[in-house]
């Protein structure tokens, strides 16, 4: 029998229907292989030549540079002289697309996140943290969304490994919902919902995939899609940009292991990962920043589009079991 499960953080329901996995088109057996773009056509081999200009930041601060932050040449939002103000036109509401759209680019064309050394993977998080610390001073900006699209099925148009940082003058709806539900939980129980979930999952262990002393990865109880993984620092940190380096490093290490597990155990699918964190104005100390990894193994059907209720054909306990298998 299928089961409805509620995600306590987003407040959303999902339908777990493992028996539907027998429908042949639901899970892709093999994913299309990403094509490695030739170096001479890559816009990230020479920032100047490709018109990207000089990096705004680079990492490490001393020694050979391995991670760069550049403005996106095709930004979704651009910062003007003023903060964006909400205006109306008839029944509609709009504002200027004022924001900041950066890319974090690692040096080696051939080394995606799981293939970097742990030190360099931590460097990707370090440069993001440095950028957010600068942006939080800008009172026009509300929230920084950080994500990676890996492969065409995940929406990547450039092969060279890179990560996006889109800083917006609004709270994105998914984040808004999660902040709201976490706050309600905190008000009722005086505890962080994610800290409670971490304690519960660590005890049961059936959905835990990887952990180290500072970070943990598990298959969420109400996973919206097959093989979804959530990664959190085990201690409570509301804001990504306030997290100490050793915690960032431990979290980066668990993310690397998770991405390698997708590669070994799910025929190397394309994926998105994203970071959910508190807004830049420090208004949500009850929130617990984390990473979500979504492998692209299913296609959304009519039910999902029409209701917003996802149907997941993979039991999260089963997903954790598959992903724990080492090569």
Rounded to whole angstroms, the Cα distance separating 1 from 138 reads: 51
User: Judged by CB, which is closer to Zn ion: 192, or 297?
Assistant: 192
Residue linked to tokens 């998914």: 174
User: Judged by CB, which is closer to Zn ion: 77, or 105?
Assistant: 105
Q: Shortest gap between Cβ of 128 and Zn ion (angstroms)?
A: 20
Q: Measured in whole angstroms, how far is the alpha carbon of residue 234 from the centre of its chain?
A: 17
Phi, psi (degrees; rounded to nearest 5) at 294? -125, 100
* In contact, 124 and 252? CB cutoff 8 Å: yes
Tokens representing 141 are 């900006």
Q: How far apart are the two ends of the chain, measured CA to CA in Å? A: 33
DSSP codes joined into one string, 141-175: --EEEEEEEESGGGT----S-EEEEEEESS--HHH
User: Judged by CB, which is closer to Zn ion: 21, or 42?
Assistant: 42
Q: Shortest gap between Cβ of 42 and Zn ion (angstroms)?
A: 3
User: Judged by CB, which is closer to Zn ion: 195, or 322?
Assistant: 195
Q: Shortest gap between Cβ of 5 and Zn ion (angstroms)?
A: 21
Taking each continuous run of H as one helix and of E as one strand, the counts in the chain are 6, 15
User: Judged by CB, which is closer to Zn ion: 42, or 208?
Assistant: 42
Rounded to whole angstroms, the Cα distance separating 173 from 119 reads: 34
Q: Shortest gap between Cβ of 213 and Zn ion (angstroms)?
A: 16
Helix extents (H) in the chain: 118-135, 173-189, 193-204, 245-265, 302-307, 316-324
Rounded to whole angstroms, the Cα distance separating 252 from 106 reads: 14
Q: Shortest gap between Cβ of 106 and Zn ion (angstroms)?
A: 9
Question: Which chain residues interact with Zn ion by CB under 5 A?
Answer: 42, 44-45, 109, 160, 192, 194-195, 236, 288
Q: Shortest gap between Cβ of 228 and Zn ion (angstroms)?
A: 20
Q: Shortest gap between Cβ of 11 and Zn ion (angstroms)?
A: 18
Q: Shortest gap between Cβ of 221 and Zn ion (angstroms)?
A: 16
User: Judged by CB, which is closer to Zn ion: 9, or 293?
Assistant: 9
CB neighbour burial string for 292-324, b if at least 16 within 10 angstroms, e if fewer:
bbbbbbbeeeeebeeeeebbbbbbbebbbebbe
Tokens representing 327 are 């090569």
Tokens representing 59 are 């990492």
User: Judged by CB, which is closer to Zn ion: 44, or 210?
Assistant: 44
User: Judged by CB, which is closer to Zn ion: 105, or 146?
Assistant: 105
Could you give the count of Cα atoms lying within 13 Å of 246 in the half-sphere of its Cβ?
5
User: Judged by CB, which is closer to Zn ion: 27, or 42?
Assistant: 42
Check residue 57 and report its DSSP letter: E
Q: Shortest gap between Cβ of 216 and Zn ion (angstroms)?
A: 12
């Amino acid at each position: 029998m299928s089961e409805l499960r509620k995600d306590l953080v987003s407040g959303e329901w999902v339908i777990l229907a493992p028996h539907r996995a027998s429908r042949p088109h639901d899970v892709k057996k093999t994913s299309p292989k990403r094509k490695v773009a030739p170096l001479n056509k890559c816009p990230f081999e020479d920032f100047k030549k490709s018109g990207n200009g000089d990096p705004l930041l680079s990492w490490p601060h001393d020694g050979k540079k391995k991670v760069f932050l550049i403005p996106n040449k095709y930004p979704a939002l651009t910062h003007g002289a003023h903060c964006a103000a909400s205006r109306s036109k008839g029944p509609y509401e709009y504002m200027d697309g004022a924001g900041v759209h950066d890319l974090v680019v690692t040096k080696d064309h051939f080394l995606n996140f799981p293939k970097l050394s742990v030190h360099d993977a931590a460097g990707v998080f370090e440069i993001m943290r440095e950028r957010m610390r600068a942006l939080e001073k800008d009172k026009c900006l509300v929230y920084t969304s950080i994500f990676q699209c890996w492969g065409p099925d995940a929406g990547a148009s450039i092969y060279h490994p890179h990560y996006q940082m889109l800083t917006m003058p609004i709270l994105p709806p998914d984040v808004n919902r999660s902040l709201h539900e976490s706050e309600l939980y905190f008000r009722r129980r005086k505890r962080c919902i994610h800290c409670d979930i971490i304690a519960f999952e660590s005890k049961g262990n059936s959905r835990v995939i990887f952990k180290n002393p500072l970070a943990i990865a598990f298959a969420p109880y109400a996973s919206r899609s097959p093989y979804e993984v959530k990664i959190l620092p085990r201690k409570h940190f509301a804001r990504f940009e306030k997290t100490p380096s050793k915690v960032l490093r431990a979290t980066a290490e668990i993310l690397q292991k998770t991405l390698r597990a997708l590669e070994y155990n799910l025929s190397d699918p394309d994926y998105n990962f994203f970071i959910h964190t508190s807004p830049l104005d420090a208004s949500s100390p009850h929130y617990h920043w984390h990473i979500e990894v979504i492998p692209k193994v299913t296609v959304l059907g009519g039910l999902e589009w029409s209701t917003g209720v996802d149907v997941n054909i993979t039991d999260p306990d089963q997903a954790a079991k598959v992903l724990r298998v080492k090569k």
